[in-house]
Structure 1
Amino acid sequence: MADLRIATCTFQEFQPAMGTPVRTTAGHPRFALSYQLGGHARLVTPPWKLVRANLAADAYEFQYRRMLTEAGVDSIREELLAIAGANDLDAPVVLLCFDRLDKGNWCHRVMFGAWYAEQTGQAVPELGAQPKAPTPTLF
């Protein structure tokens, strides 16, 4: 079985040295990218219906994980391997979306990483800015 390395990041923070950039968003970026996308991971992309549902993070995650489980980890892995093989099989596949985690956002790419790690035991690192640590309260 071919080795597949997966990471996640934002479109805005991605750098070509990170790996093969792969879209996981229902819509295309509405800004110019300084790099060319290596593909679109359709099985990982949440449908517009889910994106527009305006759900709380936990309800969204429940629906999104159900979608991933229905697609199946083997099918998702095959899709990502095909994208990697069409680009640079040795480079990580970097799943991209718009939400910056250091701005207090949550994102489907992080939910995917947790789900994939649970299914396969393989960690999916986030390459973008990390959530800010809460500021301690001083009395």
Structure 2
Amino acid sequence: MSELPKLATCTYQEFKPDMGTPVRTTVGHPRFALSYQLAGHARLVTPTRPLLKIEARDAYEFSYRRMLEGHVFGNIQRELLRIAGAYDLDSPVVLLCFDRLNVPGNWCHRTMFAAWWTEQTGDEVPELGAQLKAAPTPPPTLFDF
């Protein structure tokens, strides 16, 4: 397989310039001031407006993955490499959106994209923003032995 860009994901709000190259993956621009400049817009990764109307996570993910498959992996790869190459190929392209993953019940297309990318390439796509912490495991009791 040809060259793959390094990828990561985060929110606009949590992104810091030392994390990598900031790239928009949202239908709209942020409606708040950013302390950094966006390097580009990953249009083939961005959900469509009709997708945004789907509220059920499983239906959304099914439709989003169909959209990604329709764009074809090689086209998505080339778009992300083009953005990365214009900046710094050694720095990850950080795919940004608004949804915070540390809020119970929140989910986001960027994590669905990360899972899809990993399935396609074997490369992990780390989330750089805060994530929901798993509930602590209770210590064993006498009845567990």
Q: Do these two structures clear the TM 0.5 threshold for a shared fold by scoring above it?
A: yes
Structure 2: distance between partners of 1:3 and 1:78 = 9
Structure 2: gaps of 5 or more residues: 139-145
> Which residue is equivalent to 2:120?
119
Q: Does the CA-based 8 Å contact 2:14-2:129 persist in structure 1?
A: yes
Q: 2:111 aligned with 1:110, yes or no? A: yes
Q: Does the CA-based 8 Å contact 2:44-2:76 persist in structure 1?
A: yes
Quick one: which amino acid aligns to residue 42 of structure 1?
R
Q: 2:23 aligned with 1:22, yes or no? A: yes
Superposed structure 1 runs of 4+ greater than 6 Å apart: none
What is the root-mean-square deviation in Å for CA atoms of aligned residues? 1.4
Which residues of 2 match residues 1-139 of structure 1 at below 5 A? 1-51=2-52, 53-104=53-104, 105-134=106-135
Structure 2: distance between partners of 1:107 and 1:2 = 27
Q: Does the CA-based 8 Å contact 2:4-2:77 persist in structure 1?
A: no
Instruction: Tell me the number of residue pairs that the alignment of Structure 1 and Structure 2 aligns.
Output: 136
Structure 1: gaps of 5 or more residues: none
TM superposition shift of 1:136: 6.9
Percent sequence identity is: 66
TM superposition shift of 1:113: 0.2
Residue deviations 1:39-84 (CA, integer Å, cap 9, x gap) = 0000000011111x23211110000000001111111010000000
Structure 2: distance between partners of 1:91 and 1:17 = 9
SS in 2 for 1:75: helix
Quick one: which amino acid aligns to residue 89 of structure 1?
L
Structure 1: distance between partners of 2:32 and 2:89 = 27
Structure 2: distance between partners of 1:65 and 1:3 = 19
Quick one: which amino acid aligns to residue 72 of structure 2?
G
Change (3 A) 1:90 1:132: same
Structure 1: distance between partners of 2:112 and 2:121 = 14
